[in-house]
Chain A
Amino acid sequence: MSNRIHSLYIDPGKCDGRMACLRVCPTEAIRVRGGKARILEDRCIDCGECITTCPSNAIVPLTDSFTDFSKFQHVVAIPSPVLYGQFSDIVLPDHILSALRKIGFDDVGDVAQACELVSMAIEEFWAQYQGPRPVISAFCPTIVRLIQVRFTDLSELLLPIESPMEIAAREVKLKKSKELGLSQSRIGAIYVTPCPAKMVAIRRHPRKKKSFLDGAVSIADVYGPLLSAMSDQEAVIEGREMRKVSGIGLGWPILGGVIKSLKLKNCLAVSGLSEVIRIFEEIEKGKLRDVEFIECRTCPAGCIGGSLTVENPYVARSKIVKLLEIFGEQPQQNTDYIKKLYRAKYFLLDEKLQLRPVRPLAEDVSQAIQLMKQKQGIYEGLPKIDCGACGSPNCMAFAEDVVRKEAKLTDCIFVLLERQSASSGGSGQSAEHGGEKADDSQGRRRETRFKGKNSF
Chain B
Amino acid sequence: MRCPMASETSFQQEFAIEGGDFNNAGRASSRLRNILKQIGISPLVIRRVSTASYEAEMNVVLYARRGTLSFMVTPEKITIVVEDEGQGIADIGLAMQEGYSTASREIREMGFGAGMGLPNIKKNADELEISSEVGLGTTVRFSVKI
Contact with B along A371-392 (1 / 0, CB 8 A): 0110110000000000000000
Query: A412: shortest Cβ distance to chain B, in Å?
Result: 20
Residues of B within 8 A of A284 (CB): 30, 33, 50
Contact B40 A365 (CB under 8 A): yes
Q: In this assembly, does A369 line the interface, its C-beta being within 8 Å of a C-beta of chain B?
A: yes
Contact B2 A369 (CB under 8 A): no
> Known: A454-B1, A456-B3. Is A365-B11 also a contact (CB below 8 A)?
no
Contact B30 A368 (CB under 8 A): no
Residues of B within 8 A of A361 (CB): 38-40
Contact B68 A372 (CB under 8 A): no
> Known: A153-B47, A281-B30, A456-B81. Is A373-B2 also a contact (CB below 8 A)?
no
Contact with B along A339-370 (1 / 0, CB 8 A): 00000000000000000011111110110111
Contact with A along B14-38 (1 / 0, CB 8 A): 1000000000001001100101011
Q: Chain A interface: which of B70-78, B90-98, B127-135?
A: B70-78
Q: In this assembly, does B107 line the interface, its C-beta being within 8 Å of a C-beta of chain A?
A: no
Contact B40 A358 (CB under 8 A): no
The residue among A152, A372, A373, A375 with the most chain B CB atoms within 10 A of its own CB is A372
Q: In this assembly, does B84 line the interface, its C-beta being within 8 Å of a C-beta of chain A?
A: no
Residues of B within 8 A of A209 (CB): none
Residues of B within 8 A of A240 (CB): none
Q: In this assembly, does A455 line the interface, its C-beta being within 8 Å of a C-beta of chain B?
A: yes
Contact A153 B43 (CB under 8 A): yes
Contact B2 A358 (CB under 8 A): no
Q: In this assembly, does A265 line the interface, its C-beta being within 8 Å of a C-beta of chain B?
A: no
Contact A285 B54 (CB under 8 A): yes
Contact B9 A369 (CB under 8 A): yes
Contact A363 B33 (CB under 8 A): no
The CA-CA distance from A7 to B33 in the complex, in Å, is 30
> Known: A284-B33, A286-B54, A455-B14. Is A368-B39 also a contact (CB below 8 A)?
yes
Task: Describe B's contact surface by its main secondary structure.
Answer: mixed
Q: In this assembly, does B6 line the interface, its C-beta being within 8 Å of a C-beta of chain A?
A: yes
Residues of B within 8 A of A373 (CB): 11
**Size bracket, chain A contacts:** 20 to 34
Interface residues in B61-108 (C-beta closer than 8 Å to A): 68, 70, 72-75, 79, 81, 83
What residue of chain B has the Cβ atom nearest to residue A355's Cβ? B43
The CA-CA distance from A456 to B143 in the complex, in Å, is 11
CB within 8 A of B26: which of A153, A285, A362?
A285
Query: A344: shortest Cβ distance to chain B, in Å?
Result: 34
The CA-CA distance from A174 to B96 in the complex, in Å, is 61
Residues of A within 8 A of B26 (CB): 281, 285
Residues of B within 8 A of A375 (CB): 38
How many residue-residue contacts, CB under 8 A, span A and B?
Answer: 85
Contact A452 B38 (CB under 8 A): no
The CA-CA distance from A286 to B74 in the complex, in Å, is 26
Contact A369 B33 (CB under 8 A): no
> Known: A284-B50, A360-B40, A361-B39. Is A369-B14 also a contact (CB below 8 A)?
no
> Known: A152-B43, A372-B35. Is A456-B11 also a contact (CB below 8 A)?
no
Contact B75 A365 (CB under 8 A): yes
Q: In this assembly, does A451 line the interface, its C-beta being within 8 Å of a C-beta of chain B?
A: yes
Contact A451 B40 (CB under 8 A): no
Residues of A within 8 A of B146 (CB): 365
What residue of chain B has the Cβ atom nearest to residue A400's Cβ? B38
Contact B6 A456 (CB under 8 A): yes
Interface residues in A430-451 (C-beta closer than 8 Å to B): 448, 451
Residues of B within 8 A of A362 (CB): 40
> Known: A285-B26, A361-B40. Is A372-B11 also a contact (CB below 8 A)?
yes
The CA-CA distance from A292 to B58 in the complex, in Å, is 25
CB within 8 A of A365: which of B3, B41, B46?
B41
The CA-CA distance from A362 to B2 in the complex, in Å, is 29
Query: B50: shortest Cβ distance to chain A, in Å?
Result: 7
Contact A452 B12 (CB under 8 A): yes
Interface residues in A267-296 (C-beta closer than 8 Å to B): 281, 284-287
Residues of B within 8 A of A456 (CB): 1-3, 6, 12, 70, 72, 79, 81
What residue of chain B has the Cβ atom nearest to residue A288's Cβ? B111
- Provide a sorted-by-A list of 17 A–B residue pairs whose CB atoms are within 8 angstroms: A284-B33, A284-B50, A285-B30, A286-B54, A360-B39, A360-B40, A369-B9, A372-B39, A375-B38, A451-B70, A452-B70, A454-B1, A455-B12, A455-B14, A456-B2, A456-B70, A456-B72
Binding site for B on A (CB under 8 A): 152-153, 281, 284-287, 357-363, 365-366, 368-370, 372-373, 375-376, 400, 448, 451-452, 454-456
Q: Which 6 A-B pairs have the closest CB atoms?
A: A360-B40, A452-B14, A452-B70, A368-B39, A455-B81, A456-B3
Given A365-B40, A372-B73, A451-B70: 17 more A-B contacts, CB < 8 Å: A153-B47, A284-B30, A284-B33, A285-B26, A285-B50, A286-B51, A360-B40, A369-B74, A372-B11, A372-B38, A448-B13, A452-B12, A452-B13, A455-B12, A455-B70, A456-B2, A456-B79
